[in-house]
Structure 1
Amino acid sequence: MKHQRPIAFALCLALFWSSVAAAGQTPLPPYKDPSLPVEKRVEDLVARMTLEEKVSQMVNAAAPIERLGIPAYDWWNEALHGVARAGYATVFPQAIGLAATWNDDLIHRVADVIATEARAKHHEFVRRGERGRYQGLTFWSPNINIFRDPRWGRGQETYGEDPYLTGRLAVAFIRGLQGDDPRYFKVVATAKHYAVHSGPEPERHSFNAMASERDLRETYLPAFRASVVEGKVAGVMCAYNRTNGEPCCANRRLLTDILRGEWGFTGHVVSDCGAIEDIYRRHRFARSEAEAAALAVKAGTDLSCGNEYKSLVQAVREGLISEQEIDAALKRLLTIRFRLGMFDPPEMVPYARIPFSENDSPAHRQLALEAARQSIVLLKNEAGALPLRKDLRTIAVIGPNADAPEVLLGNYNGQPSKSVTPLAGIRAKVSPRTRVIYELGSTLTGEPVAPVPASALPGGLKAEYFNNKDLQGQPALVRTDEQVNFNWDRGRPAPQVNDDGFSVRWTGRFVPPESGPYRIGAIADDGVRVYLDGKLLIDEWTPSPNNQPRTLLKDVQLEAGRAYDVRIEYFDQTRAAVARFVWSFPRFKERLIEDAVRAARQADAVILVLGISPTLEGEEMQVNVEGFRGGDRTDIALPRAQEDLLRAVQAVGKPTIVVLLSGSALAVNWASEHSQAILEAWYPGEEGGTAIADVLFGDYNPAGRLPVTFYKSVGQLPPFEDYRMEGRTYRYFRGEPLYPFGFGLSYARFRYSNLRLSAEKIRAGESLTVSVDVENVGQRAGDEVVQLYITDLEATVPVPIRSLAGFKRISLAPGERRTVQFTLAPRQMSLIDDRGRRIIEPGAFLISVGGKQPGFTGRADAATTGVVTGRFTVFGEKLELPEK
């Protein structure tokens, strides 16, 4: 009923425009007539295009066709956890943090806000005549690959290791992005990377992921199936690698047989960027670019991110593909653009009326705070160490992630107009009488250089941003930056500043805290100059090779308390933009730890903010330091320098709370044994520091749950390159984890009772209803994540140890009890037999319901939640279930 008025309004407008056209001298061509079905309009438009024009629309940067009134359009846009790389936007927790909320309703609301800001930005860009990259309405999100191994650097972009949790959150995110209008998409979501893709990053363009039919159907494909069948996702991105011998973007089994055949996908498929080139250059699956392009289109890849599809004209001439096959792909692409309203009057498209003021609004910031709070996982809380009192006399905040704004953001991120670091959040939370001492303590991996802190730059630095590489003319933006410590990834410093080809001049005073020898300089990916008291110290006014940051230092002798004039100049040429004003000094690591220990001795409590960062883990990076390789990790332990800091501070004997920021699991074995409390906060977004402080001081009761297993070491894992699931994730790992999937503590306690099954015996193919009572028996209100797991006890083939089959996040006041109900579908009782068929076998099944997995007894303080179990039996003949 709610759509009847919008539909009627759209039809009236369509008839109006048809009558306008009829009254004119020249009737509207069918493709411009909004009263006609989209299919007819698309057919008409394609019929008017030459082969060259058709091909020009099958690359991400689609060219304008002026004679037909088709504007330029770039399909490439990103919205993993906020609109990325397009100026200011609300930045939510990284995807792995969103997964830790275990809240699909929240994920839907987050995605709806992202789509709102995307529409507001897009129409503002169009009003300014801008139609470039990161300005469109087709978003290459979400990343729903299974985070099968904690070493994968892009695992932070996913919803974790479980196919069911990933599928439910993916459906919620997709529906939030695409909206519920029956005629128009709000924006288009793109599920990626299809399929069987999760590292290693340095080999991603050439490796062959071998996966059995059982692993495909049990683990790698279910979230994609849910995205297509339930989420009705309009886009899918195929991966770089091969799967079982065939490049994913030319893989007929994946794209033709399963995606379009079994699941009935009618949307468009886009290649990952450069993946068509990989087909012939690295996979050696084709002899030429034209043949690779033809193979990809014939398999079902409609759009190339890159220019490879320009060779399709040649491919037609060589008989490698027919124009009719190109038409089929192009029609799918144009259908997307029509359903986004790009060929209709703006007044017909409800989403085109979203004002630009909706972007980066206070309401959206509040939702980012809510998401960050819900994402935080309390891993340990010995003897009620948390929450802390706000009126403690002195608190020491120590660690490389305590005051690092870029660590809040993860990758594929937007640029917040304001962000709150953990240090800032703690300072804002405590009593005005509480003294908060901050010390860096360590760099992330022990590198002997760090950004010059704001404390050594009193009053900050005047920053002048220019929309050219030469610091010429009037600056596009003048502001005060507290320090020079920036990594703008592929975005821009501010909405007024270019994505690429900009320059910055910072000027101000630099006051060293003590006298002695220093090394002063910069880390920059392109041109940089550093002046001290007018003397040129660093002069590298050229782009860095391969666009990689380089560290440039000069030895100087400085006097304590003296104010030196400092000037840093920087230009960015293209892609990422990194600019940091840095220093070092003798015994760098030792002095940082000594300062941290001194601060800890003065404190009533110590908060250590540790972890890793998106500068170490991510997509195909040029990182090669101990524990890290090319964006991936070779070791999941806390970096050695931070472990040394942790042990030194803990030895002081003060209550020590560890806050971890990371995009993946960390083997914090020593901290788990010795620290009083541990929080996992992920990359928590623009309001991360506020959320962390809310949890630390008791203004929010944590209820996040781990979406991944925290192992004790990489020694518990199979080789990274092995795509077999045996020994990986909670479903197949038989060892003792540090913290299991689904784990998380609370300041409240929850009791489970009265487990009820709708039947003790059901026939194969029937559903089962499961109910349980959950009561808050603690003293605080709080959320509980109710988790349902199922185990097939009598399977005739290998099956998971257990599988998540339902979850609900609920809020309970002290003493409140609620009944939670789940419905187990027949598919959730099925297995993959040795012939690759999905069947339901007769036999016994175990059900467990609680706030965690059953069986984990690793810690006494894990008793903030309970688990109850029951059994049922399936009878009858084996039943085969269709994949459609």
Structure 2
Amino acid sequence: MFNLGHGGLTYWSPNINVARDLRWGRVMETPGEDPFVGGTYAVNYVRGLQDVEGEEFTQDLNSRPLKVSACCKHITAYDIDHWNGVDRHTFDARVTEQDMTETFQRPFEMCVKEGDVSSVMCSFNRVNGIPTCSDPNLLKETVRGEWGLHGYIVSDCYSIDTIVNDMKWLGDTPVEAISQSMHAGLDLECGWYYSSYGVETSKKGMISEREIDKALSNLYVVLMRLGYFDGSPSYMSLGKPDICAQQHIELAAEAAREGIVLLKNDNNSLPLNTNTHKNIADILIHYICTQIVFVCIGIPCKYTSPKDGLSAFGNVTYEKGCADVVCKSDSFIFSAMEVAKKADATVVVVGLDLSIEAEFVDRLDLLLPGYQTQLVNQVASVAKGPIILVLMCSGSIDVFFAKNNPNIGAILWAGYPGEEGGRVPLLTLFLENTILVGGKIPTTWYPADYVNALPMSSMQLRPNDELGYPGRTYKLYNGTTVFPFGYGLSYTNFSYEITSPGGSIDIKLQNNQHCRDVTYEEDSYRLLCSAVLVDDVSCDAAGYEFEVVVRVQNNGTIDGNNVVMVYSKPPVGILRTHQRQLIGFERIFLKAGETQNVKFLFNACKSLIIVENNAYRLLPAGEHMMVVGDGEASVPVQVNFEGQ
């Protein structure tokens, strides 16, 4: 409701930066560490905001009507705000071209090409020495040229001032900085430099009228597509009653439900039964767990707190475990223990808040703050009934202590669940709501000592044994985890079987198509033609597609949700590439005993590629493995190349 009555039709959202390091304070705004998930999220988010029904795929995309204008941000390699004296306004992200192509750029490329977003925002930082908002190769050549943006490019707020006064890049004056950025393809500045120094820059001949006209055209075309000048009659009557309609409140609840992840459930501690668990102790750090709605999101229709969530299911005794999230004192722990001694079940809600992880605030560790860990352990040591630990945080927390504690029966991760976040996560604890649990974590949960292995300012993604770097993200990390990417339990049991046969993709190379070398391990078998450049083959041809059908069965006695995740593994022996990569996922609901076939259609040029160290996208020959989840089922797909 933030724009209600203000006529605002531009939403600078979503944030699709890859969560490279979970100390970053803005992980909460992103869809996680996987670039394919980030891109898929971006496409659907943007389509939901922008698309007018019946006008989704008009022939001239520059005239396609828009409901509102979305903005994919912040391009590129931006994932540090303020850590150990390193500041986003002066940080120079040193990134290899391989990592840029494979990871950092992919969500943005998908957002522009498949989501047809109408705006892209450049970030504060430099990448390999060049400020992103002054980089013509990034903005003009890649975003607008190669990817084909139909819209405008905007700076993050006050980025040009940052270039002049913080970076002091090239010693530029305000006039010179404007000239650099507009030449690079920056249409709009969030700040005051364009308005304060733009006329002077033009008079000095440092930007031409043609360039100004081009930027204005990019901006005004979006305004026209929004109906800014002649209106959009079907949307003119919308107001607060539409925003806060019951179906939209329920949508907020659905988002919170689907984001909940069950991380532990020993001895079927969950779900609780209201007939046997009548007296519940609720020990809270987060009395108001919905404060996240105040950050970059707007004004909610209403709030619910954890208190509201449990009251409907039994006699609830509330106790504050700490004075606040920082939890600098253990003075509340004794009273929390006394409550837990008498309860049929104890729910302990702990985690982080915006004073610990947020924009401008990065973390120094992966631990619960202050005495929170002691609170959990001491309450668990005396509790009469099962202990249910609910984590409210964005970046991961090392909860090995709780995972390995036999007195703690279950762990739920709720993230920051928004305006319905107090009610929904706690509803999932009870038998009447078991279908609600089925989410998967979108990041790798590292142990606490991970932060000692590599500084947050190191952009390196691949492991380096000589330096003791274990790598980053599930695709490349080679260390131990608290919980791996894509992990999540259910109150029921699912089994998986791939019913489609292993496929073969046979590609006959033309005279202008050449084999490319791939870096193999020393003793690995090398094919005569190791790979081809993706740009050299006809990826849209039917021969490049293959199907994977996964039969999923609910083997339990209760209904349940499940997210089916399919990964591809490259041929054995290829060096310095991903261990596996997610290529498809789908959420399904199955009643107890029910079976469903889930069909995935993949294209080899998107789902089987690797990115070599020279940043070329290659389709390697050999046996690729399609794997469901953590290896519950798999099937090979063979890629063969044949010369003329």
Identify the TM-score tier after normalising by the shorter chain: 0.7 to 0.9
Question: What's 1:99 paired with?
Answer: none
Return the offset for 1:797.
4.5
Kindly provide the CA deviation profile for residues 717-776 of structure 1, in whole angstroms up to 9, marking residues without a partner as x. Answer: 522101111200100101121111111000111111244246245437512211121111
Return the offset for 1:649.
0.5
CA distance in 2: counterparts of 1:642 and 1:438, whole angstroms: 17
Return the offset for 1:446.
4.4
**Which of 420, 435, 446 is equivalent to 1:711?**
446
Question: What's 1:323 paired with?
Answer: 209
Return the offset for 1:646.
0.9
CA distance in 2: counterparts of 1:844 and 1:220, whole angstroms: 27
**Which of 194, 214, 220 is equivalent to 2:104?**
220
**How many residues get paired?**
580
Preserved CA contact (<8 Å) 1:298 1:325: yes
CA separation of 1:213/1:755 partners in 2, compared to 1, >3 Å: closer, same or farther?
farther
CA distance in 2: counterparts of 1:317 and 1:693, whole angstroms: 63
CA distance in 1: counterparts of 2:373 and 2:124, whole angstroms: 36
| 1:744 is aligned to 2:488 | yes
Return the offset for 1:700.
3.3
SS for the counterpart of 1:387 is coil
SS for the counterpart of 1:756 is coil
TM-score of the superposed pair, with normalisation by structure 1? 0.64
**Which of 621, 628, 639 is equivalent to 1:842?**
621
Kindly provide the CA deviation profile for residues 185-232 of structure 1, in whole angstroms up to 9, marking residues without a partner as x. Answer: 100000000111000435000111111111011100111000000000
Question: What's 1:439 paired with?
Answer: 319
SS for the counterpart of 1:282 is helix
Question: What's 2:633 paired with?
Answer: 868
CA distance in 2: counterparts of 1:673 and 1:639, whole angstroms: 19
**Which of 10, 14, 28 is equivalent to 1:142?**
14
CA distance in 2: counterparts of 1:700 and 1:367, whole angstroms: 18
Residues 444-463 of structure 1 aligned to structure 2 (within 5 Å) = 444-447=324-327
Residues 302-313 of structure 1 aligned to structure 2 (within 5 Å) = 302-310=187-195, 311-313=197-199
| 1:152 is aligned to 2:24 | yes
Preserved CA contact (<8 Å) 1:755 1:870: no
CA distance in 1: counterparts of 2:309 and 2:455, whole angstroms: 40
Residues 78-117 of structure 1 aligned to structure 2 (within 5 Å) = 86=2
Question: What's 1:642 paired with?
Answer: 372
Residues 765-784 of structure 1 aligned to structure 2 (within 5 Å) = 765=539, 766-784=544-562
| 1:700 is aligned to 2:434 | yes
| 1:687 is aligned to 2:420 | yes
Question: What's 2:516 paired with?
Answer: none
CA distance in 1: counterparts of 2:609 and 2:625, whole angstroms: 14
SS for the counterpart of 1:737 is coil
CA distance in 2: counterparts of 1:417 and 1:188, whole angstroms: 22
CA distance in 2: counterparts of 1:219 and 1:676, whole angstroms: 37
Preserved CA contact (<8 Å) 1:410 1:613: no
Question: What's 2:359 paired with?
Answer: 619
CA distance in 2: counterparts of 1:370 and 1:598, whole angstroms: 35
Preserved CA contact (<8 Å) 1:444 1:642: no
Preserved CA contact (<8 Å) 1:196 1:220: yes
Return the offset for 1:714.
4.1
Preserved CA contact (<8 Å) 2:269 2:409: yes
Percent of aligned pairs sharing the same letter: 36
SS for the counterpart of 1:176 is helix
SS for the counterpart of 2:576 is coil
Return the offset for 1:272.
0.3
Preserved CA contact (<8 Å) 1:791 1:845: yes
Preserved CA contact (<8 Å) 2:627 2:634: yes
CA separation of 1:156/1:168 partners in 2, compared to 1, >3 Å: closer, same or farther?
same
Return the offset for 1:355.
4.3
Kindly provide the CA deviation profile for residues 641-668 of structure 1, in whole angstroms up to 9, marking residues without a partner as x. Answer: 1011111111104321100001111111
Question: What's 1:660 paired with?
Answer: 391
Preserved CA contact (<8 Å) 2:391 2:414: yes
CA separation of 1:834/1:603 partners in 2, compared to 1, >3 Å: closer, same or farther?
closer
| 1:333 is aligned to 2:180 | no
Question: What's 1:166 paired with?
Answer: 38
> Which residue identity lines up with residue 723 of structure 1 in the other structure?
M
TM-score of the superposed pair, with normalisation by structure 2? 0.87
> Which residue identity lines up with residue 404 of structure 1 in the other structure?
I
| 1:198 is aligned to 2:84 | no
Preserved CA contact (<8 Å) 2:398 2:447: yes
Return the offset for 1:247.
0.2
Preserved CA contact (<8 Å) 1:618 1:632: yes
SS for the counterpart of 1:328 is helix
CA distance in 1: counterparts of 2:402 and 2:429, whole angstroms: 17
CA distance in 2: counterparts of 1:305 and 1:761, whole angstroms: 48
CA distance in 1: counterparts of 2:29 and 2:71, whole angstroms: 14
Kindly provide the CA deviation profile for residues 502-560 of structure 1, in whole angstroms up to 9, marking residues without a partner as x. Answer: xxxxxxxxxxxxxxxxxxxxxxxxxxxxxxxxxxxxxxxxxxxxxxxxxxxxxxxxxxx
**Which of 651, 669, 675 is equivalent to 2:381?**
651
Kindly provide the CA deviation profile for residues 433-488 of structure 1, in whole angstroms up to 9, marking residues without a partner as x. Answer: xx31111111345456xxxxxxxxxxxxxxxxxxxxxxxxxxxxxxxxxxxxxxxx
SS for the counterpart of 1:848 is strand
CA distance in 1: counterparts of 2:103 and 2:614, whole angstroms: 17
Residues 35-50 of structure 1 aligned to structure 2 (within 5 Å) = none
- Unaligned ranges ≥5, structure 2: 56-63, 463-470, 508-531, 533-538
Preserved CA contact (<8 Å) 1:373 1:700: no
Question: What's 2:612 paired with?
Answer: 833
Question: What's 1:800 paired with?
Answer: 578
> Which residue identity lines up with residue 340 of structure 2 in the other structure?
A
Preserved CA contact (<8 Å) 2:290 2:416: no
**Which of 603, 624, 630 is equivalent to 2:343?**
603
Preserved CA contact (<8 Å) 1:755 1:868: no
Return the offset for 1:673.
1.0
Return the offset for 1:410.
6.7
Residues 46-65 of structure 1 aligned to structure 2 (within 5 Å) = none
CA distance in 1: counterparts of 2:614 and 2:174, whole angstroms: 37
CA distance in 2: counterparts of 1:446 and 1:292, whole angstroms: 42
Question: What's 2:235 paired with?
Answer: 351
Kindly provide the CA deviation profile for residues 91-123 of structure 1, in whole angstroms up to 9, marking residues without a partner as x. Answer: xxxxxxxxxxxxxxxxxxxxxxxxxxx6xx2xx
| 1:788 is aligned to 2:566 | yes
CA distance in 2: counterparts of 1:284 and 1:618, whole angstroms: 27
Question: What's 1:594 paired with?
Answer: 334
CA distance in 2: counterparts of 1:157 and 1:189, whole angstroms: 15
Preserved CA contact (<8 Å) 2:346 2:383: no
Residues 555-594 of structure 1 aligned to structure 2 (within 5 Å) = 589-594=329-334
**Which of 162, 168, 178 is equivalent to 1:284?**
168
CA distance in 2: counterparts of 1:376 and 1:160, whole angstroms: 14
**Which of 238, 247, 267 is equivalent to 2:131?**
247
**Which of 382, 387, 395 is equivalent to 2:280?**
395
Residues 816-831 of structure 1 aligned to structure 2 (within 5 Å) = 816-825=594-603, 826-831=605-610
> Which residue identity lines up with residue 391 of structure 2 in the other structure?
L
CA distance in 2: counterparts of 1:643 and 1:404, whole angstroms: 20
CA distance in 1: counterparts of 2:501 and 2:584, whole angstroms: 14
> Which residue identity lines up with residue 397 of structure 2 in the other structure?
L
CA separation of 1:695/1:410 partners in 2, compared to 1, >3 Å: closer, same or farther?
farther
> Which residue identity lines up with residue 695 of structure 1 in the other structure?
T
SS for the counterpart of 1:820 is strand
Question: What's 2:459 paired with?
Answer: 723
**Which of 261, 265, 268 is equivalent to 1:381?**
265
CA distance in 2: counterparts of 1:872 and 1:446, whole angstroms: 51
> Which residue identity lines up with residue 284 of structure 2 in the other structure?
G
Q: Which has the larger radius of gyration?
A: 1
CA separation of 1:408/1:383 partners in 2, compared to 1, >3 Å: closer, same or farther?
farther
> Which residue identity lines up with residue 555 of structure 2 in the other structure?
V
Preserved CA contact (<8 Å) 2:434 2:559: no
Question: What's 2:144 paired with?
Answer: 260
Preserved CA contact (<8 Å) 1:758 1:768: no
- Unaligned ranges ≥5, structure 1: 1-82, 87-117, 126-130, 449-588, 621-630, 855-866, 879-884
Return the offset for 1:234.
0.1
Return the offset for 1:336.
1.0
Question: What's 2:404 paired with?
Answer: 673
Return the offset for 1:271.
0.4
| 1:421 is aligned to 2:305 | yes
